[in-house]
Structure 1
Amino acid sequence: MRYLFRPPGTEAAGLLSLPWHQPLEEWDEDLLIEVPQRGISRHVVRFAASEGRVYALKEIAEPLARHEYALLAEFEGEGLPSVSVLGICVDRPDDQQAILVTRYLEYSMSYRYLFSGPRAADDPMKLLDTLVELLVRLHLAGVYWGDCSLSNTLFRLDAGTFTAYLVDAETAERHPTLSARKRAYDVDLARERVGAELMDLQSGELLSPEIDPIEIADSLPVRYQALWEEVTREEVFRADEQAIRVAERLQRINDLGFDVGEIELVTSGDGARLRVETRVAEPGQHRRELVRLTGLEVQENQAQRLLNDLWSYRAYLEQRGGRPVPETVAGHRWLTEVYQPVVGAVPDELAGRLEPAEVFHEVLEHRWFLSEQAGFDVGTWAAVRSYVQHVLPRTPVQLTTPSVRAHRSEPG
């Protein structure tokens, strides 16, 4: 047998003792763990834990395993939203298929849970928009997915919204650019698969009666085209408008969660033409800023919400002290005096139900709700007590695994 891991460090070494020579279906249950709310796969998939981390093991033909391994490594290096690949095991005895190893995406949820669980009924179109955004990101990067579906996607809460991650890249292809025809075919496949998946949920009575599977699926191409045009179209305007029109266009792209690369502005006597190169990398402006100030690594929408609270706390410190507070000092004080005490107030029996940053976001939302009811600001700690007592216990234990929860930590 041969193993290929990236990077070849202690993380991989902890997995080498597993019985790679045996078919995955025959592995001892003591070596495996149950992952809540896992999706459906056409391959044999099992989950194992090592050194406090959880890994997904998928049995697949060696050429496909090598292809998927290489693509997922590329995606991770470029910041595309996808699961993180660790390695492959090939040349297994008795002509067995290869095993692809990916890192389990903590706090992720399958579409089956999201459409049938307690968080499902809000607005299914939001989940569809998240899938569409992922497909646009891939197409901007020259990636033809070939198997875009809800089953091949995982979703994570991000400050009340969702972020989608590609899980399966067996059929994906990488090109310098994608033609309109190639993109259209990918979108049409996604529409068919999403419709079939939702109809399957409907037949199993796992879908809310108010949700029309065909209506949702048929809206996917329309939503895709609207987003694609917004982030790629050229704009033409009068020369005297160029300053404000360029700023407005860049702001719209940023608000959609995309980064801006090269800008081409061609002016003439008749006006100006603007072309914007939209970067394919996962959005990160707020994430990078939060890491710089606090060391916290969270998702982009979460980072924006946390930064807003940090700046409010900085203003409070300056008003109370009567002098300016450097942003690095404010970041450290907010982390130790606000964020850590709030997430630390979650009792052990409720830990792991939501990502810590999502807990903090929901506490802020709950504070606003309670204050609206009371007619005055109830304060953070009243909101924390009420949230822990009345809201968080209603969130099912589905977003992470016991072994991961036992090893979760926060920056100090």
Structure 2
Amino acid sequence: MPAIQKLRVTTAGTSSFYSLVPSLPWSLPLKDWPNELLAALPRGISRHVVRFIQAEGAIFAVKEISERDALHEYQMLRQLQSKELPTVSVAAVVAGRLDENGEELPAALITHHLQYSLPYRVLISKHLSRSTLDRVLNSLVALLVRLHLSGFYWGDVSLSNTLFRRDAGTYAAYLVDAETGRFYDNISDRSREYDVSLGATNIIGELMDLQAGGLVDADFDVTTIGDYLEERYHDLWNDLTGSERIPADEIWRVGARADRLGQLGFDIGQVDIESDEDGDYIRFAPRVVEAGHFQHLVKDLTGLEVQEEQAKRIYTDILTYQQQKKLNKTPLRLVANAWMDRVYLPTISAIPDDLRAKLEPAQIFHEVLEHRWFMSEKAHHHVHTREAVKDYIRTQLATRPDEQVVLPMPLTATADISNFLNPEKN
């Protein structure tokens, strides 16, 4: 007779999840869950058993882990979400599981699948180019700096613990695994340096594994990646937090630095400014730095929630539209409304329904603009967006793999990621 389950469910106010719990086979180890529950998605490497499941019209990642660790990670992910840091969204912890013999099973941490996200193995293959790898690593560095600015110590930085979403011509990185993470009021330099050093070591090991599996060329020197990661981290951290001594009559450089950080996607919320004894020099240093400069601008102007580089591209296109239509004296919010109605929405609406799952709408818009530029260069004259959209759909989008999760019926348990393994087209 099967053991009676007395489950302990912790959930972030997601009432719909409670109705899902009784329908899942909690008395089975996760590795033995039936195929009809599983979603065919490429997944990264984990030291725990992880499965993607389809339930209630959505997709969840389920990870078996001890109850103590599951509850800790649950709290860390909730805090990360509350600070609007890039991470997966946590759904619940299910503990108190027993198998059919009454033996205790690990707890389960459940997170929502991050739409349009890809594990690093999908982005990196034997066709690996250094530019692709650099874009992946730069996005991871930006994520790590944002976490540290918020006082979060990751403790297990790696490509395997990160998911990537397209962001115009680069990527946006999202934290997946927060099991070893901690928040501090003031994160120490020692903790930050350990995070960076551990990340460099882990990533070199991950790339060596790919080399051993034939997914990265044998002549690629992966040991240089550690130095690159540490250098990029320190450059960005110093840009965002370092103090600067300037002549008192060059105070304009404070604003110039703020503008430069804005181009990097960060806003300065507070600055310390000190004068020396003679008043000839001042020293200033940012104290409060927040990410998402262009994301906030674009959301305020249009309501669109997009990645930072996508937002930068959209903002630039709104300003270009303002110049082209000679609307310089019109409030930018009204210009943005007109741009949405006459440029952005018609472009996205032109995408056939059966191709909508290929990419996020903002990414499609960015790629259409890129395609229009290349077509105009080739034709030696300006190509209208309508013409560029048609050609982009036919020659580019139609051949791409779907990156939004599509729920086929029935789902199969085997994920075929061969169609994804082409980073030069990514």
Q: Normalising by structure 1, report the TM-score.
A: 0.89
Q: Which moved more, 1:115-124 or 1:146-155?
A: 115-124
Aligned to 2:28: 22
Aligned to 2:10: 4
**What amino acid does structure 2 have at the position aligned with 1:21?**
S
**What amino acid does structure 2 have at the position aligned with 1:403?**
L
Aligned to 2:396: 391
**What amino acid does structure 1 have at the position aligned with 2:16?**
T
Question: Which residue among 283, 307, 328 is the counterpart of 1:299?
Answer: 307
Q: Secondary structure at the match of 1:402?
A: coil
Q: Which moved more, 1:224-233 or 1:292-301?
A: 292-301
Within-5 A mapping of 1:9-88: 9-10=15-16, 13-14=19-20, 16-35=22-41, 37-88=42-93
Q: Secondary structure at the match of 1:116?
A: coil
Question: Which residue among 261, 272, 276 is the counterpart of 2:282?
Answer: 272
Within-5 A mapping of 1:150-299: 150-208=159-217, 211-242=220-251, 244-268=252-276, 269=278, 270-279=280-289, 281=290, 283-299=291-307
1:193: how far off? Answer: 0.6
Question: Which residue among 363, 371, 376 is the counterpart of 1:366?
Answer: 371
CA distance in structure 1 between the partners assigned to 2:64 and 2:142 by the alignment:
29
CA distance in structure 2 between the partners assigned to 1:314 and 1:13 by the alignment:
50
Cα shift readout 1:227-257 (whole Å, capped 9, x = no counterpart): 2222111111111112x11012212222222
Q: Secondary structure at the match of 1:207?
A: coil
Query: CA distance change for structure 1 residues 88 and 381 in 2, over 3 Å: closer, same or farther?
Result: same
Q: Secondary structure at the match of 1:384?
A: helix
1:310: how far off? Answer: 2.8
Query: CA distance change for structure 1 residues 20 and 330 in 2, over 3 Å: closer, same or farther?
Result: farther
Question: Which residue among 141, 153, 156 is the counterpart of 1:147?
Answer: 156
**What amino acid does structure 1 have at the position aligned with 2:257?**
R
CA distance in structure 1 between the partners assigned to 2:130 and 2:397 by the alignment:
18
**What amino acid does structure 2 have at the position aligned with 1:63?**
R
CA distance in structure 2 between the partners assigned to 1:329 and 1:251 by the alignment:
24
1:175: how far off? Answer: 1.6
Identity %: 43
1:298: how far off? Answer: 1.4
Q: Which moved more, 1:83-92 or 1:306-315?
A: 306-315
- Whether the 8 Å CA contact 2:126–2:217 is kept in 1: the answer is no
In the alignment, is residue 338 of structure 1 matched against residue 346 of structure 2?
no
CA distance in structure 2 between the partners assigned to 1:384 and 1:99 by the alignment:
45
Query: CA distance change for structure 1 residues 225 and 317 in 2, over 3 Å: closer, same or farther?
Result: closer
Cα shift readout 1:191-234 (whole Å, capped 9, x = no counterpart): 11100101111121212466421112232222222222221111
1:83: how far off? Answer: 1.1
Name the structure where helix makes up a greater proportion of residues. Answer: 1
1:120: how far off? Answer: 5.7
Query: CA distance change for structure 1 residues 325 and 158 in 2, over 3 Å: closer, same or farther?
Result: same
Q: More relative contact order in 1 or in 2 (CA 8 Å, sep 6+)? A: 2
Q: Number of paired residues?
A: 396
Q: Secondary structure at the match of 1:213?
A: coil
Q: CA RMSD in A?
A: 2.3
Query: CA distance change for structure 1 residues 379 and 332 in 2, over 3 Å: closer, same or farther?
Result: same
Q: Which runs of 5+ in 2 are unaligned?
A: 1-6, 409-426
